[in-house]
């Protein structure tokens, strides 16, 4: 049997209805911006494998750091122990985060990173003797697939039969410059009815919602209102972090800084899983007490895995390099030129861009995981480009090392989609 047949015997893939889509394509190799299947065909990874491999697949610099680390210290429990890679990573990460971030908690992935952010917000008030059990979130936000993260997510396609178990959440629409007064009044009304513990948000770009974008200036009054009401601001930068929006973090664009930040995906450059949740000194101090019960009793077996820490350190060094920063600016300019061209196409409803994130909405009605979406996906694969449309939204979030020729190949595939469907 080939890999596809062997896969079908035992594996249950994520976000897949196997009765409708029983086969998965075997990928046997990856390098730079390219994926290779078992037949030797190559595909430009136009979404960096869910926004992780931002410095390219199998990056030699990152692999060497991981190799060095795994010969020194592979894994050790992080409760009661510490190690050099974790300490160095904490120092390097805090140095590039917004200056109010002072403490960090290691975890495993994006969902657990936001889960901890939610727990920090809820327990912060509990430790202070306040009853605040309700959270605030944007409509159509997405924060992960664990139960707490699902609670604050607003995309029903993921939540399905679990909604009756969720934390209480109030929702507000994305700010657009015209609805600020209504949003602020809604927050005040929600808070008067049942005090809000925290506000979780994807700054500037709602990824899973279809790369929906909004302005920093429109977010700031919401964060300021939350600060006034003592609502903990939790920035979910799992997708936006590490250079994608044109700065190290999307929160760098926003004057009002979050109390908590959730990180993963590009954190370890696509090599190994890891998440980190950071917070201000004020948040940390609410858990610092002689009462052991006021501690944040949350742990993961692989918290601060030394190899993951080593890859994250290498990733930060690459992010700060002149080469990667130059590449980011170059990709931004290519996308701007493509947007100007493609916006005129009758099949394009609108284009959006923030940093290296580019998205266009098709002027076609289609379901998020409907048949037409899969046809477009397969069409692009036949063109040698891995794109994963979010309903009617086609987006690009390619590695920072993607060449001009590879980016043009992505653009050509999108042009053909527009002319074919």
For residue 227, say whether it is annotated as part of any ligand binding site.
no
For residue 388, say whether it is annotated as part of any ligand binding site.
yes
Rounded Cα distance between 294 and 290, Å, is 8
For residue 326, say whether it is annotated as part of any ligand binding site.
no
Residues pairing with 394 in the sheet: 360
The two structure tokens encoding residue 22: 């029983």
For residue 300, say whether it is annotated as part of any ligand binding site.
yes
For residue 301, say whether it is annotated as part of any ligand binding site.
yes
For residue 110, say whether it is annotated as part of any ligand binding site.
yes
Q: What residues form the annotated binding site?
A: 50, 110-111, 236, 265, 300-301, 388
Q: Which residues are annotated as a binding site for pyridoxal 5'-phosphate?
A: 110-111, 236, 300-301
Question: Would you list which residues are annotated within the binding site for substrate?
Answer: 50, 265, 388
């Amino acid at each position: 049997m080939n890999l596809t047949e062997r896969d079908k015997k035992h594996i249950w893939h994520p976000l897949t209805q196997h009765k409708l889509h029983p086969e998965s394509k075997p990928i046997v190799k990856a390098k730079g911006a390219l994926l290779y299947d078992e037949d030797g065909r190559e595909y430009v990874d136009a979404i960096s494998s869910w926004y992780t491999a931002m410095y390219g697949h199998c990056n030699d610099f990152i692999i060497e750091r991981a190799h060095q680390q795994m010969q020194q210290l592979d894994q050790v429990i992080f409760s009661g122990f510490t190690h050099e890679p974790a300490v160095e990573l904490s120092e390097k990460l805090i140095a590039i985060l917004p200056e109010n971030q002072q403490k960090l908690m290691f975890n495993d992935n994006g969902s657990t990173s936001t889960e901890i952010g939610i727990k920090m917000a809820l327990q912060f008030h509990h430790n202070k003797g306040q009853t605040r059990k309700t959270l605030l979130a944007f409509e159509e936000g997405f924060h992960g697939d664990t139960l707490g993260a699902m609670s604050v997510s607003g995309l029903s396609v993921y939540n399905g039969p679990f909604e009756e178990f969720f934390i209480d959440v109030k929702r507000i629409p994305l700010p657009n410059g015209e609805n600020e007064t209504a949003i602020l009044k809604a927050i005040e009304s929600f808070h008067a009815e049942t005090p809000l513990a925290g506000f979780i948000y994807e700054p500037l770009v709602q990824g899973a919602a279809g790369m929906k974008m909004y302005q920093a200036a429109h977010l700031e009054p919401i964060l300021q209102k939350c600060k006034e009401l003592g609502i903990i601001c939790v920035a979910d930068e799992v997708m936006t972090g590490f250079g994608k929006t044109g700065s190290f973090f999307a929160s760098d664009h926003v004057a009002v800084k979050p109390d908590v930040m959730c990180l993963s995906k590009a954190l370890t450059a696509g090599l190994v899983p890891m998440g980190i949740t950071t917070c201000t000194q004020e948040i940390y101090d609410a858990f610092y007490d002689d009462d052991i019960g006021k501690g944040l009793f949350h742990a993961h077996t692989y918290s601060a895995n030394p190899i993951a820490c080593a890859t994250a350190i290498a990733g930060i060094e690459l992010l700060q390099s002149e080469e990667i920063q130059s590449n980011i600016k170059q990709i931004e300019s290519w996308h701007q030129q493509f947007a100007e061209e493609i916006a005129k196409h009758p099949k394009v409803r609108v284009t959006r861009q923030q940093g290296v994130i580019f998205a266009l909405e098709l002027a076609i009605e289609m379901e998020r995981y409907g048949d037409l979406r899969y046809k477009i996906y397969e069409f692009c694969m036949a063109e040698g480009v891995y794109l994963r449309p979010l309903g009617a939204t086609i987006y690009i979030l390619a590695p920072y090392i993607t060449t001009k020729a590879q980016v043009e190949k992505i653009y050509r595939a999108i042009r053909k989609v527009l002319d074919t469907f």
